[in-house]
Amino acid sequence: MIYIRLFVEFFKAGLFAIGGGLATIPFLQDISEKTGWFSLRELVDMIAISESTPGPIGINMATYAGYKTAKFAGAIIAVVGEVTPSIIIIVLIAYYYMRFSEQPLVKAGFYGVRPAVTGLIAAAGFEVAKIALFNIEAYLKTHNLFALFNLKSIALFAIIVFLMNKYKKHPIYFLVGAAIIGIVFKF
């Protein structure tokens, strides 16, 4: 039963997360809330791990969540669920796009999807920032304004933004550096 549910949940995420891996995040939040397979804090960790490992973020996140839920078989089933809609849709789109790509209705449809995808990615980024930079649960318990801010994460974020603007290097350098700093902060 868990395997069917894993497949269905990640099939839905793969079907509706238009725009790439980051657009998957709202669907993963929904999966977290509905199933309890992983917490929102673990979701932030999944995003960090998925962003820093090779491969598409959506596939990496499906692998991580599937493995955490049902070990190796769960990882395989979650990934298959995630990619199945894309395979079906790409085959259909390729077939029909070649035939109708110059039609005004098709052009208008693609024009309208772009801002929606941008909005989904921005909303996901906001949710990740909210979880990573703020500790809302601690604030609600203590009503202490200082408890609201995760000062280490905010400092790391500010340093990374500063360094990225000052040194135009490949993002992998910043990901590796942030991972090392995160390990140091954790211990």
Domain ranges of the chain: 2-133, 134-187
CB atoms within 10 A of CB 143: 9
CB 52 within 8 A of CB 175: yes
What's the pLDDT at 125?
Answer: 85
Distances in whole angstroms, Cα of residue 114 to Cα of each of 97, 111, 120, 161, 180:
17, 6, 10, 26, 35
Residue 187 pLDDT grade (very low, low, confident, very high; cuts 50, 70, 90) = low
pLDDT tens-digit series, residues 8-63: 999 998 888 876 667 788 888 888 888 888 888 888 888 888 777 777 878 888 88
Amino acid at 23: A
Of residues 98 and 11, which shows the higher confidence score?
11
Contacts for 43 with CB less than 8 Å, ≥ 6 apart:
25, 28, 29, 32, 131
Query: Tell me, what's the pLDDT at 20?
Result: 67
Mean pLDDT value across residues 90-101:
85
Q: How many residues does the chain have?
A: 187
CA count, 13 A, side-chain hemisphere, 65: 41
Nearest to 21 by CA among 44, 45, 55: 55
